[in-house]
Amino acid sequence: MSVRILALVGSLRVGSHNRQLAEAAVKLAPEGAEVELYEGLADIPFYNEDIDVEGAVPAAAARLRAAASAADALLLFSPEYNGTIPAVLKNAIDWLSRPYGAGALSDKPVAVVGTAFGQFGGVWAQDETRKAAGIAGARVLEDIKLSIPGSVTRFASTHPADDAEVAAQLTEVIGLIHGQATAPAAA
């Protein structure tokens, strides 16, 4: 069974190492898995119930919801900004959590990975991202983790797809997501 995995990147910077990691995921997706890198998080307004009105949802938010609904699973790439989740990623989770109880994240398998400059690879932000996604209704894949430290030096001259260790780890992550997305949800 082919699995569609939607990748959301919590950094808007063109040269972001997390974006490069997501590009690597697209390139390294094993047979039976397709990773789609979502473009357009910068265009989505901050979540506000006053503008989240049926028939009048902002187009950028509606596109995100449609893409997430069409995916079998999501893979979130989170850098660490001041020890926590970037606002753009939290905003995407907020939009995907609605309508309450029936949002695009409802019982959808979600894994969180990433890289950061610090020695722990952004684990605080990734933990916060898992927490937010779980509260938003996602079936967070808690056992699937990849935190790559020292991004500024490690990826200074090497793209993550060309780093053999990272490529192997990322391929394993995608394979695990594939397995979870095709497994029946626990009752």
- Statement: residue 184 has pLDDT above 60: yes
pLDDT (0 to 100) of residue 186: 55
pLDDT (0 to 100) of residue 118: 86
Q: Report, as an integer, the average pLDDT of 20-28.
A: 97
More confident residue, 185 or 178: 178
Query: What is the side-by-side order of every strand in the sheet holding 73-77?
Result: 33-37, 3-9, 73-77, 109-115, 139-148
pLDDT tens figures, 76-96: 999 999 999 999 999 999 999
DSSP character string of 92-131: HHHHHT-STTSSTTTT-EEEEEEE-SSTT-SHHHHHHHHH
Give domain 3-182's CATH superfamily. Answer: Flavodoxin domain (3.40.50.360)
- Statement: residue 175 has pLDDT above 60: yes
Q: Which residues pair with 146 in a beta bridge?
A: 113
- Statement: residue 18 has pLDDT above 60: yes
pTM over 0.85: yes
Q: How confident is the model at residue 105 (pLDDT cuts 50, 70, 90)?
A: very high
Q: Nearest to residue 85, comparing CAs of 137, 120, 130, 47?
A: 130
pLDDT tens figures, 133-170: 999 999 999 999 999 998 999 999 999 999 999 999 99
